[in-house]
Structure 1
């Protein structure tokens, strides 16, 4: 575990300025999420619904993890420095706007999404929607960069990065579907139905977003095992058993979450599917961590500096 921590620490100590800013902002988001979780525990109140401390909690934690993960994953890619700074800068501005506005509306005790009651609330709703669009463009551009030749990366890590960005975009598309459903319903005069109708895809949205941490993470950890670079270079296109297992489990979990969203409920079969695919994913994580903790170590790919 100390080897993993040492490797991860280098991404801060050797990180580019924009990456270090991103890591610091991600930490602030995480602290904000934890602080609001503490407020929820202290003052109580509903966890569900359009007005609750759940929103700043989940947005803080989710955006913190996403900014941290996407910045880390993007650090492996060969990208022009100006383009990297521009894409990460846009990502940080949009993410900060999303978390800040969600938090402001929670403290005002009014809904953050689908709220057209006042000009200010309407503006917040529109900025949140626009921020989602910016995130899709910026992260889509990073995904496109990952599809270009990345000769300094081990094949498995390159594949894991592509899968991770693809998963993240799937999560953003699911979020856009949620916004679309809610907007149609609230414009039709039924705001309560809007919050429920959009909320059925929450699980799929969350699973998609955090694929950017899981799949590249498994690929990176797989590369910390005992393999020399000549073996890596000769295994182009290969996928380790751990990454193969993690990908199958993750895609199965995402599919089950999408089915649950489309149905608008969790039935027994979907719950069973989530349990099984989640177990497969956890098994992959356990296997790769166990292999690393046995003390076998080699870095699977170089961060492009």
Structure 2
């Protein structure tokens, strides 16, 4: 059975009885400092992506290729949304306050590092990933690769927490979180495969092939990453309806099925186009 009552007390206090998740819709004093920092940082990253979208449109540049304003646009928007989503959904996970603070703090810093490295290289008009042309380019490329590894570790730990202990929240939230985290792992694995193949090809003298080798995996990577935002948001919005708990859970189940179908289609495309 899904939890039928929302939690009422923030985790980490001495009188905890039920874990109360924080959301951007709650009063400011109910949001933990690290979550507030993540929300603010995510908003800045999203703003950066939108600014570079204006630059792209105004400058008439190409959307394709390793050197394009597309990258600071998509990475700014994606990392900003992901950071906000992870900060929010982590408040439903039953993990210690200190562990959550450390994980979210490192995750926020890593998101900034990734977007900053990509943005700097975009303004320098050179590729950000798999670029070994100069010592500086190599340093940026390796920093992005290592940062990607850190992201995988943190998100894997949070995903494991969703399955080890039942998440708190309204009806359907536990299912939405677990499905979102499970699909997120697929996104992480596809991202790791993109990095590993690109670095290998670049290191073996096939830099151009390294740039193009990730194209088939990009749809799978992009779709999978955001299930952890879309599905929990749906479960939260359903609270505003007058539907029964059983109906809300059924809607979440249907949404999980639709999202899983989209991921499967992206996986098939990745295999066919590889």
- TM-score normalized by structure 1? 0.78
The structure 1 residue matched to 2:135, chosen from 97, 119, 131, is 119
**Partner residue, 1:165:** 181
Q: 1:76, CA displacement in angstroms?
A: 1.6
Q: 1:163, CA displacement in angstroms?
A: 1.2
Paired with 1:132 and 1:182, the residues of 2 have a C-alpha distance of: 13
After superposition, the CA RMSD in angstroms is 2.0
The structure 2 residue matched to 1:16, chosen from 24, 32, 51, is 32
Cα deviation 1:216-274 (Å, max 9, x = unaligned):
1222222333367xxx5xx7xx9723112211111111111111112227xxxxxxxxx
**Partner residue, 2:257:** 248
Paired with 1:180 and 1:25, the residues of 2 have a C-alpha distance of: 28
**Partner residue, 2:12:** none
Q: Does 1:143 align with 2:159?
A: yes
- The 4+ residue runs of structure 1 with deviation greater than 6 A are none
Paired with 1:46 and 1:210, the residues of 2 have a C-alpha distance of: 25
Structure 2 gaps of 5+ residues are 1-22
- TM-score normalized by structure 2? 0.86
Paired with 1:80 and 1:185, the residues of 2 have a C-alpha distance of: 41
**Partner residue, 1:181:** 197
Cα deviation 1:81-105 (Å, max 9, x = unaligned):
1111001011111111100100011
The structure 1 residue matched to 2:269, chosen from 260, 263, 278, is 260
SS in 1 for 2:63: coil
Change (3 A) 1:151 1:41: closer
Residue pair 2:56, 2:70 contacting (<8 A) in 1 also: yes
Q: Does 1:25 align with 2:34?
A: no
Paired with 2:200 and 2:213, the residues of 1 have a C-alpha distance of: 10
The structure 2 residue matched to 1:198, chosen from 214, 217, 222, is 214
Change (3 A) 1:150 1:251: closer
Paired with 2:46 and 2:128, the residues of 1 have a C-alpha distance of: 19
Residue pair 1:11, 1:72 contacting (<8 A) in 2 also: no
Residue pair 1:163, 1:216 contacting (<8 A) in 2 also: no
**Partner residue, 2:9:** none
Change (3 A) 1:19 1:118: same
Aligned pairs for 1:1-305 within 5 A: 8-10=24-26, 12-150=28-166, 152-154=168-170, 156-226=172-242, 240-264=249-273
**Partner residue, 1:274:** none
Aligned residue pairs, count: 252
Cα deviation 1:88-133 (Å, max 9, x = unaligned):
0111111111001000110111100000111111111111111111
Residue pair 1:97, 1:131 contacting (<8 A) in 2 also: yes
Comparing 196-205 and 21-30, the one that deviates more: 196-205
Residue pair 1:168, 1:211 contacting (<8 A) in 2 also: yes
SS in 2 for 1:153: coil
Paired with 1:22 and 1:103, the residues of 2 have a C-alpha distance of: 20
Change (3 A) 1:11 1:175: farther
